[in-house]
Amino acid sequence: MNEKIRDIIQELEGVFSCNLIGSEKIEEIHIIADKKRDPKRIVRDVETICLVHTDHKIDHKKISIAQVADSFKENVSDVSTDRIELISVHTENNRSCCKVEMKIREKRTEDSFEAQIGESIEKLIGRSILSVLNKYLNFDAKLVVDDIFTIKGKEELVIAQLSMYNLDNNLMQEKLVGSVYVNNDIALAIAKACLKAVNRRICYFI
């Protein structure tokens, strides 16, 4: 339940990231937000979310908000879905390869990856994107692809399920999920879904 509440809070206007303290009951809520919104309004929104989803009113004194300049958001946006310059998937010598070009912190990166034995094209693309992030960002964690699949309805939706592992003890820290409509480009959609999954957590590591 706490993960659901955290994700809802992070959808609030002006909120970059959120961390909840407490297992069964929320003891503290820590938020990073921009300077455009009145923090009192953010607190009221958070109080409402907690009341609706837990039937428990949290004391406003337990909600802390750190407001940062817009440049912080710009740094986070450097690895957002809009920063993918190009992604292409092609076959060389009957083996699938993925070429990824991205722009991170104004630096253009270009990397190529080959499929592992038995690895699907979808997982290859996801692994390639996460490998670029693991390589160029100074994470204290490692991102791993768990599964990538599509849901077909009126519009095709691609879902990326990822895990974030602690480098010190190799234990899983968190499960991440991102989804994007395909829009005739499955490779780009997979890449964007992976980035969307990690985007709200990136701010802890850059």
Report the number of distinct structural domains present in the chain.
2
Q: What pTM did the predictor assign?
A: 0.57
Q: What's the mean pLDDT in 192-196? A: 85
Residues near 103 by beta carbon (within 8 Å), at least 6 away in sequence: 78, 83, 85, 109
Residue count of the chain: 206
Name the band, by pLDDT with cuts 50, 70 and 90, for residue 31: confident
pLDDT at site 77:
46
Instruction: Provide the CATH number for the domain around residue 142.
Output: 3.30.160.270
Q: Are residues 97 and 67 in the same domain?
A: no
Query: Which of 36, 56, 74 lies at the terminal end of a domain, its last residue?
Result: 74
Q: Are residues 36 and 94 in the same domain?
A: no
Return the residue matching tokens 């989803």: 53
Instruction: Provide the CATH number for the domain around residue 24.
Output: 3.30.300.30
Chain segment 134-190, per-residue pLDDT in tens: 887 766 778 899 999 888 877 788 888 898 888 888 888 888 888 888 888 888 889
Model confidence at 73: pLDDT above 70: no
Q: Identify whether the C-beta of residue 25 lies closer than 8 Å to the C-beta of residue 70.
A: no
Chain segment 38-57, per-residue pLDDT in tens: 888 899 889 888 888 887 78
Chain segment 93-107, per-residue pLDDT in tens: 566 888 888 777 667
